[in-house]
Each structure stands twice: as structure tokens, then as C-alpha cells.
Amino acid sequence: MVLGSTESPSRTFPQYVAALAAAGGAFAAGSLLGWTSPAQTPLTNGEYGFPVSKAAFSWIGSAMTLGAACVCIPIGFLINFIGRKLTMLLLVLPFTVGWAMLIWAQNVEMMYAARFILGISGGAFCVTAPMYTGEIAQKEIRGTLGSFFQLMITAGILFVYAIGAGLDVFWMSVVCGILPLVFGAIFVFMPESPTYLVSKDKNEGAIKSIQWLRGEEYDYKMEIEELKETERKIKENPVSVGTALMRPVTLKALSISLGLMFFQQLCGINAVIFYSTDIFVDANTGINANLSTIVVGIMQVIATFVSVMVVDKLGRRLLLLASACVMALSTIAMGIYFYMQEKDASSVDNLGWLPVSSLCVFIIMFSIGFGPVPWLMMGELFSSDIKGVAGSIAGTSNWVLAFIVTKTFEDLKGALGAGPTFWLFAGITIVGAIFVFFFVPETKGKSLNEIQRELAGNRNEQPSSINAL
């Protein structure tokens, strides 16, 4: 509910520090996501001393998405019960346990369990970190700070790709296991969300948090009064979680968030990443498999960084629309290449540039728009009394879709062929662009209360009235 006053001096540097510290958990989650790429060949070749088939490794990779899907809704209740900060600090424990089990795994089943536990931590961070960042940030920089989450995920993926090129799986996993501990050591010094503190009647703590985030010179009175007024209205009109979820404004916000998560996963990002090594090989670029994944990781980080820089200038809608349109063109081009390759391999001998350029453009545009923006908007669209649960539902849908796409991609490719499969993703992405154009509101430069008012269709009301909805 942060308005951010233009009447009194406000420091933004502490907000950047807190947001980056929270995004340290996203960096750890990114290393978890990227781990499977450098680990696959060594593990299936027996590096750990026990057999790991390709089918078993598929489940090792997918177990993480199942863990993430299972935790999102419970973590939504925990966030509101013990707070955003303590929740993220407690997640260091399952992170550490999961990595320890993976490092010293004695069989495939132990790896399944380890990845599931790690998925619990990673999935919980995907709900908690965007929410925390959205609540500590002034509206002028909320988009930038919210994009740190996806930026640090891509940085974590690139990090594990890079160390995986030089370390065996054991030592790579040891390094990854240290990351959550580093996050915990840093984040313990960050403030709790003022929104949460006011909801627990800890007004003095909320004032201290705001002053930590905005500076001692900042006039906190208007901001703290708005938070207290919002909380007062919620307590005057208590409703059950089910009733809150059925409010028209919540249903609209949930539909938008679920739609963005759906198109993020169904645009074909997993298929493109899955094919990245093969594309580089087929194009005769001379780049080996490890280096090709690092190149992909570098492109993701750079493009996401660009998104961080422009999201509060260009807005969410423009980034999403540009991302969807260009991604659709890229997957159409890749589909043409693979369709021609399946029909006559010799027909694409001189077309190696097509899938490589399409791959690069796709990853860049995904990382600018549909990668970071759905997570950013998840922290913006919901009112404070339902944000934990509604955000968790959106996060759960994302991980369930990730699991379905990952596990069914090979079957889909076998049934339709690689070319038509990419065309299917292109068609879904075009529908995603239409969805954004007609249904997704612009949240750039608006306070969280103003966003709620716009979703409710009451653009001319005062912000303080919105949570009476």
C-alpha cells in the first residue's frame, strides 16, 4: 500500500538493498533450476556410483516443480501468520537439507526426495519474495525492484551453468548449497514489511521499517496512516478467505495473474531451452554443449537486466505485448526449421543461422517481458488481506504448468513432430498477446491502492476506500 510521497525527501538506496537481499533467495532458486543441465550427462554416466537412467533423471528434474507446486498455497498462509521476513529466513532450512541430501545421495530415490524438498524452498521464494518487494517499494521504483526477482533467477541459472563447466556434480552441488546460507546471513539484517507489521498492530515497528527503507528525513505519517486505514477497514469488515477470494476485484486480479502464468509457461520457453544445445550443434557453430548453455544464460541475464531498467519507464503492458509478438515469430521460425529438417535433413544444411537467431531473439524477448513481468504483477494485483493466498494460487498454477509442459513435451513432439509443436506454442503465444491487450491493466507508477481501485472500476475514488470492496 505504499504511495511514496513527493513532498518529503525519500531515500531509495535502502529499498534497492532490501530488494536485492530478498532476491538472493531467487538467486539460490535459479541455481536449483539450472542444476539439471550440467548434471544430466555426468549422472547418467554413473558419476555418483549408482545407475541413473534418462527416465529417472527426468523425474529428478521434475520433482523440483512438484515440490514447488505443493508448497505455494501453504506458504501463503504462513506469510500472513509469521511475516514475510521470518518465512524467507526459515526457508534456508529446507534449502540446506535438500542440498545436503543431493550432495550425499546414495540412490536415485534420495535424489527424488532432495529435489522435491529443494522445490519446496524454491517455490516458496517465488511467492514470498515478490510480495515482500512489492510492499517495501515506493510506487516510482516498484517495477524495477520487482524485476530483481527474475533477474536474480536468471543470474543463478547462469552461475550454475558456469561452475558446472568446471566442477563435477558433487562440488557444483556443494557450492549451490552454500548460497542459501549466504542469503540468510544477509537477509537477517533487512526490515520486515511495513504492511505486515501494521496488520499485526506493530505500528512502532512499521514506522522503524519505513524509516529504514526511506531514510530518517522521510515524513512517514501519510504512509503509515494509509496502512492503518487500510487495515482498519479490513478488520471492520472481516471475511473468510473463501469470501475474500470471491470478491469481484479479487477474481479479476486472480484471472489476470493466472492468465499471465499460463502464457508464461505455454509460450514454449521450456522447449526452447531444452533444444538450445541441439540448435547450436545443428548450426555447426563450433560451440560445445557447456558453452552454448552459458551463452543462453548470459543472454537471459542481460535481457532481464534491460527489463529491470525500462519496466518503470515503458510499463508492463508494452513489455508483455512486445515480448509475446516477437516470441511468436521466433517459434514460428524454429517450427519451420524443424519441420523442414524432419522432412529432408539436407534442405536445412544452409539454414543453421535460422534456429540460432530465432533462439537468441526468443530468449531475449522472454527475459524482457513474459519472464519477469508476471511475477512482478503477482505482487501488485491483490489487496493486502488476500495477497498471500491469491499469490500462492497463482504461483501454484505456474509450477503445475511447468511440470506438465516439462513432462509432456517429448510425448507432444512424438505425436505432432517438432515443427508443429513449436507452431502450437506460437499459436498459444499469439493468444497471450490478445489476452494482454484486452485484459491486463497498466500498473506503472500506481500505488497498490490505486491498482485495486482501477481493477474495481472506481478510478475516481480516494485510495483509502478501496479495501472496503
- In this predicted model, what pLDDT tens digit does every residue of 209-266 receive, in sequence order? 999 999 888 888 888 888 888 788 777 777 777 787 888 888 999 999 999 999 999 9
pTM of the entire structure? Answer: 0.82
Q: Are 436 and 324 in contact (CB under 8 A)?
A: yes
φ/ψ of 307, rounded to 5, equals -60, -40
Domain boundary among 190, 225, 258: 190
Pair 161, 268 in one domain: no
Whether residue 170 is found in the same domain as residue 290: no
Residue 105 covered by a domain: yes
Rounded Cα gap, residues 132 and 326, in angstroms: 31
314 and 431 fall within a common domain: yes
**Same domain for 28 and 118?**
yes
Condensed to tens digits (0 to 9), the pLDDT of residues 31-77 reads 998 898 888 889 988 898 899 988 888 889 889 989 998 988 898 88
393 and 254 in a common domain: yes
Asked whether residue 91 falls in the same domain as residue 16, the answer is yes
| Residue 234 resides in a domain | no
Domains in the chain: how many in total? 2
CA-to-CA distance for 59 and 49, rounded, in angstroms?
A: 18
Reported as a pLDDT band with limits 50, 70 and 90, residue 458 is low
Do residues 175 and 284 both lie within one domain?
A: no
Domain containing residue 117:
10-190
Q: Is residue 216 part of a domain?
A: no
197 within domain boundaries: no
| Other CB atoms within 10 A of residue 402 CB | 23
Determine, yes or no, domain membership for 2. Answer: no
244 and 378 belong to one structural domain = yes
Collapsing DSSP states into helix, strand and coil, what is residue 103?
Answer: helix
Average pLDDT, the chain: 86
The Cα 87–Cα 336 span in angstroms is 47
Q: Are 137 and 283 in contact (CB under 8 A)?
A: no
Task: In whole angstroms, give the CA distance from residue 351 to residue 85.
Answer: 51
Q: 203: number of CA atoms within 13 Å, CB side?
A: 12
List pLDDT tens digits, range 75-127.
888 998 999 999 999 999 999 999 999 999 999 999 999 999 999 999 898 88
Residue at 428 is within a domain: yes
Whether the CA torsion 254, 256, 260, 262 is positive or negative: it is positive
Residue 462 domain flag:
no
Mean pLDDT computed over 274-282: 71
Decide if 219 is inside a domain. Answer: no
Statement to judge: residues 322 and 429 lie in one domain: yes
With a cut of 90, say whether residue 290 has pLDDT above it: no
What's the CATH number where 324 sits? 1.20.1250.20
